[in-house]
C-alpha cells in the first residue's frame, strides 16, 4: 500500500480524538499528540493505552501525554495526567490507529495508471485506482473505490468488491470473487488449482479444478497466502475472516465468518471450519473434516478428526533441551510397551493380594 514518506507528521488534538472515538476526555482538549506509543516508551507528545491490567504499574510511571483506559482505571489514570475513558480500551486503540492511518497515509488517486493493462471488456466502477503494470482481464469487475495495486493480476471474469484494496503483486484468478472492504496483501494467490489427481497406473491424472473462490466482505488476507479454487464447487471464505501470511487453504474448504488463522496455518481440502474459530500459528486441519463454531487450535496443533465441541485444542511436542528430548523421544517410541509393563505389574500385585 502506498504510504507517505516518513518525514510527514500526524497530529491530533485530544479534544478531536475524544470526539472521533466517542470517549470521555479528562484533561486539556487542546493538547496535541503526534505519536502512538506503548506506556513505557511514550513521551508527552504520545498517546498510549492500558488494556491489560497486568501493565497497571506501568501506567503510573508512564510519561504519555494521554492514556486510554477503561472506567475501572479512571482514577489511577487521572492521577498522572490526561486520559481518554473508553469501555474497551483495546478496541478504542484499534480505532485510534485507524484515525492515524487515515491521516498519515497518502490517498490513492481514483486513477487507472497509464501503464496498467486493462482489457476493454473489464468493468471498472467509479473511484477505482489501478496501479502501474497491473493486468485486468476480460470480464473482470472492479467495485467502487477499490484499489488494485501495482503489478496485480485480475483474471477473466474475476470480481473485486467496493473499497477492497489489493497491495502490489496480488493474483486473483479467473472467476474468483472477493467482497467489499477487503484487504489483500502482496504475493497472495487466489484461485490456483486445487491439488486433485486420480492415481492411475502409477501416475497422477489431473482432475481439472472447475470451481472458483468466493470470499465475503471485510476479509483480510496476509502476504503470500494461497486460497485454491474448488474442484467442482467453490472454495468459500465467509465475511470477516482474517488470514495471516503464508496460510494454505485447500480446494473446497469452507471457513465460517469471523474466524482467524495465524501465520503458516494450513487447511486441507474439503474441510469445513466454523464461525469464530481461531487457529494459532502453524496450526492445521486435515482434509474432509469439520470444526464446530468457536473451536480454537493451539500453535502447530493439527486437527486430524472433526471437532464438534467448542474449546481450545492442542497437540504440540513440548520443547526441551536436546539431551532431555532425546531420552524422552526414545522412550516415547516404546510407550505402548511401557503401558503393558505397568499392566503386568498391576496384575502381579492383584495376584499377590488375592
Site residues for a copy of itself, 280-339, by CB under 8 A, read: 280-282, 284, 286-287, 297-304, 311-322, 324-336, 338-339
Task: List binders of a copy of itself among 147-176 (CB under 8 A).
Answer: 149-151, 153, 155-157, 167-169, 171, 173-175
CB 131 within 8 A of CB 115: no
The rounded distance, in Å, linking the Cα atoms of 279 and 272 is 13
The distance of closest approach from Cβ of residue 184 to a copy of itself in the complex, given in angstroms and rounded to an integer, is: 10
Q: Residue 30 in contact with residue 58, Cβ under 8 Å?
A: no
111 binds a copy of itself (CB under 8 A): no
Helix (H, G, I), strand (E, B) or coil at 345: helix
| Locus of grid cell 503393558 | 340
CB neighbours (10 Å) of residue 13?
A: 14
Nearer to a copy of itself, 63 or 242 (CB): 242
Q: Which of 115, 123, 288, 308 binds a copy of itself (CB under 8 A)?
A: 115
Given candidates 72, 91, 109, 123, which one binds a copy of itself under the rule CB under 8 A? 91
**If phi over 0 gives left and psi between -120 and 50 gives alpha, with beta otherwise, what is residue 187?**
left
The angle at the Cα of 191, spanning 244 to 184, to the nearest 5 degrees, equals 35
How many residues touch a copy of itself (CB under 8 A)? 138
If binding is defined by CB under 8 A, does position 198 make contact with a copy of itself?
yes
In the annotation, is 251 catalytic?
yes
Q: 134: which 3 cell numbers?
A: 497491473
Q: Per the residue annotation, which of 73, 177, 185, 251 is the catalytic one?
A: 251
Which one of residues 88, 109, 111, 123 is an interface residue with a copy of itself (CB under 8 A)?
88
The most distant pair of C-alpha atoms in the chain lies apart, rounded to whole Å, by 93
Q: Residues 56, 76, 80, 90: which binds a copy of itself (CB under 8 A)?
A: 90
Amino acid at each position: 500500500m502506498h504510504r507517505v514518506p516518513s518525514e510527514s507528521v500526524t497530529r491530533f488534538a485530544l479534544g478531536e480524538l475524544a470526539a472521533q472515538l466517542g470517549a470521555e476526555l479528562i484533561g486539556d482538549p487542546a493538547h496535541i499528540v503526534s505519536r502512538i506509543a506503548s506506556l513505557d516508551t511514550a513521551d508527552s507528545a504520545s498517546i498510549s493505552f492500558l488494556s491489560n491490567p497486568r501493565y497497571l504499574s506501568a501506567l503510573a510511571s508512564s510519561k504519555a501525554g494521554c492514556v486510554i483506559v477503561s472506567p475501572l482505571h479512571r482514577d489511577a489514570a487521572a492521577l498522572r495526567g490526561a486520559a481518554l475513558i473508553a469501555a474497551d480500551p483495546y478496541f478504542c486503540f484499534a480505532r485510534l490507529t485507524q484515525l492515524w492511518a487515515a491521516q498519515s497515509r497518502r490517498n490513492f488517486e481514483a486513477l487507472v495508471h497509464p501503464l496498467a493493462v486493462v482489457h476493454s471488456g473489464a468493468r471498472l466502477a467509479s473511484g477505482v485506482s489501478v496501479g502501474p503494470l497491473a493486468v485486468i482481464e476480460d470480464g473482470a469487475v472492479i467495485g467502487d473505490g477499490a484499489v488494485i495495486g501495482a503489478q496485480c493480476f485480475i483474471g477473466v471474469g474475476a470480481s473485486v468488491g467496493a473499497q477492497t484494496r489489493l497491495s502490489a503483486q496480488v493474483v486473483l484468478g479467473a472467476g474468483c470473487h472477493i467482497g467489499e472492504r477487503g484487504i489483500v496483501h502482496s504475493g497472495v494467490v487466489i484461485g490456483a488449482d486445487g491439488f486433485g489427481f486420480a492415481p492411475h497406473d502409477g501416475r497422477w491424472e489431473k482432475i481439472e479444478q472447475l470451481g472458483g473462490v468466493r470470499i465475503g466482505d471485510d476479509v483480510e488476507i496476509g502476504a503470500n497466502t494461497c486460497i485454491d479454487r474448488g474442484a467442482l464447487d467453490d472454495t468459500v471464505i465467509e465475511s470477516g475472516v482474517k488470514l495471516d501470511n503464508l496460510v494454505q487453504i485447500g480446494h473446497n474448504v469452507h471457513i465460517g465468518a469471523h474466524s482467524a488463522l495465524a501465520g503458516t496455518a494450513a487447511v486441507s481440502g474439503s474441510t469445513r471450519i466454523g464461525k469464530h474459530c481461531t487457529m494459532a500459528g502453524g496450526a492445521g486441519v486435515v482434509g474432509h473434516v469439520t470444526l464446530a463454531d468457536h473451536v480454537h487450535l493451539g500453535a502447530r496443533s493439527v486437527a486430524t478428526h472433526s471437532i464438534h465441541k467448542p474449546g481450545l485444542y492442542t497437540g504440540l511436542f513440548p520443547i526441551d533441551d536436546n539431551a532431555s528430548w532425546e531420552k524422552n523421544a526414545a522412550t516415547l517410541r516404546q510407550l505402548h510397551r511401557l503401558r503393558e509393563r505397568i499392566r503386568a505389574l498391576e496384575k502381579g500385585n492383584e495376584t499377590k493380594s488375592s
